[in-house]
Structure 1
Amino acid sequence: MNYNKQHTILKTTNLSIGYQSKKVKTIVASNINLELQKGQLIGLVGGNGVGKSTLLRTITNVQPALNGDISIHNKSLNHYPALDLAKVLSLVLTEQIASKNLSVFELIVLGRQPYTNWIGSLTTEDKEMINIAISQTNIETLKNKRCFELSDGQLQKVMISRALAQDTDLIILDEPTTHLDMYHKAYILKLLQKITKETGKTILFSSHEIDLAIQLCDTIIVMTDTKVISDTPCNLIAKGTFNNLFPKDLIAFDENTGSFRVKK
């Protein structure tokens, strides 16, 4: 199915991110101007400590922006009540879930909380969205298992399924491939790519798997100590953006293969 990828889901304008105490304002990054388009898989990459998680927490309203504006569907983030925001944006964090004694099905059901009534009973539509989410992540055989019985890769698929059950236009994941082996890192990112193509949802994820992001993403946001830029992987390679992402004493970017190499 073809989706209109020119529709802007999320936009930041002159955004500054960081931390504010009573006496000190610590700016992590500033002048961030991004546009996330409908139906795209978008990777957020950069070295340790440049502010990737801070950026994700800010654009999901987990922490306040220091300056600038964030809008979803052309509506300022500040104007979204919490319940309305949960219907347009779902978030998958790296933190452990509160209770691993929940069954997989029970955890996915939590994704329907923005839509259920005050006693939390599921409608026919809720059940349909849950079953679709389970099918999209291919976890039918897991739904009756307890979460503590799952591997890291299986649990990550369940968390993605919960976000899908929430049925938002935008899904944001903070380092979804952490603790996974090479095969499951590729599997999870290929799954996210498949979801964007099949559903038209916009998925933004942060990752240290830059080589995989280059291969699979429609757009990559690159954060450095001095700037935040966004473009297609091919354009970023042509601009030499990845050449200066890390110190050159140990690794170098190979523009021909689109991957990093350890210097011998």
Structure 2
Amino acid sequence: MKNQTANPILSAHQLTIGYKTKKKAIVVVSDINFELQKGQLIGLVGANGIGKSTLLRTLIKVQPELTGDILLNGKALNSTSTLELAKELSIVLTEPLISKNLSVYELVALGRHPYTNWIGNLSDEDTAIVTNALSLVNIIELKDKRCYELSDGQLQKVMIARALAQDTAIIVLDEPTTHLDMYHKAYILKLLQRLTKETGKTILFSSHEIDLAIQLCDTMIVMQKDKVVCDQPCNLITEGVFNRLFPKDLISFDSTTGSFRVSK
């Protein structure tokens, strides 16, 4: 990636991701190198089955890397404890909630778990942080509603507020626009863009909404069959990276508009 600064918040060096079986290691992607900067919105894109979720799981220490290094604020990720990681990085996944009977406020307050005592009591500071998270995502009026009463779009905003309440430098989201209509896909990604500017947090998300990511992201990680490229969207367009993402028999990339078109 071009124009790097000396102190990236999250970086990968000669990283190989995949799975280990009893007999061998199955490589998904190798030779991954990137440096992500503080306060940016970063989109991770690529074709279905290319390994986006595997890369995200590796970056959040859910799945071990096969080889290479991941550094979080200059420290090796594999030497970071679970509690330390919970104070540095928050996660919004696509898995359904264990209990939708929680109120919005209760769910967002769970983000304070790394900082509360074993009983989970909230201090005045915790309460102020939870309230601020609700305010940042514009869902104060929903705080007393039960999660089963919410639409998919509202629930996604609640999950983002919970990540904000965790007060980490990095927020990682796996497919945050799944199940949303076109308007709400754009709304959620625009919200993430605004949050990076207002909070200074680094937000990394995976998505199939490549057109929207091109418009809104500061940086994009593009996964291809043979390599992973990380750069500003304008540079990726100039270098023809998006032209090579999909077979050209059905869709093609228009570098003028920065969007994909159905081939006629």
2:28 equivalent in structure 1: 28
Which amino acid in the other structure matches residue 139 of structure 1? I
CA shift, 1:6, in A, is: 6.4
Partners of 1:226 and 1:147 in 2: CA distance:
42
Partners of 1:147 and 1:6 in 2: CA distance:
42
Which amino acid in the other structure matches residue 43 of structure 1? G
Structure 1 unaligned spans of 5+: none
Residue by residue over 1:60-108, the C-alpha shift from the partner in whole angstroms, topping out at 9 and shown as x without a partner, is 0001100111111101011111011000000100000110111111100
2:114 equivalent in structure 1: 114
Structure 1 consecutive aligned stretches of length 4 or more whose deviation exceeds 6 Å: none
2:173 equivalent in structure 1: 173
Partners of 1:63 and 1:79 in 2: CA distance:
14
Q: Indicate whether 1:88 and 2:97 are aligned.
A: no
Residue by residue over 1:147-198, the C-alpha shift from the partner in whole angstroms, topping out at 9 and shown as x without a partner, is 1111000000000000000000000000000000000000000000000001
Q: Indicate whether 1:57 and 2:60 are aligned.
A: no
Contact 1:50 1:223 in 2 (8 A): yes
2:133 equivalent in structure 1: 133
Contact 1:6 1:38 in 2 (8 A): no
Residue by residue over 1:29-78, the C-alpha shift from the partner in whole angstroms, topping out at 9 and shown as x without a partner, is 01111111000000000000000000000010001100111111101011
**Identity across matched positions, percent:** 69
Which amino acid in the other structure matches residue 89 of structure 1? L
Contact 2:7 2:74 in 1 (8 A): no
Alpha-carbon RMSD across the aligned residues, in angstroms, is 1.1
Q: Indicate whether 1:185 and 2:185 are aligned.
A: yes
Contact 1:196 1:202 in 2 (8 A): yes
Structure 1 range deviating more: 6-15 or 159-168: 6-15
Partners of 1:131 and 1:85 in 2: CA distance:
23
Partners of 1:30 and 1:97 in 2: CA distance:
33
Partners of 2:128 and 2:191 in 1: CA distance:
20
Partners of 1:21 and 1:200 in 2: CA distance:
40
Contact 2:52 2:223 in 1 (8 A): yes
Partners of 1:227 and 1:89 in 2: CA distance:
26
CA shift, 1:24, in A, is: 2.1
Partners of 1:78 and 1:85 in 2: CA distance:
10
Partners of 1:40 and 1:9 in 2: CA distance:
10
User: What is the DSSP-based 3-state SS (H/G/I as helix, E as strand, rest coil) of the residue aligned with 1:138?
Assistant: coil
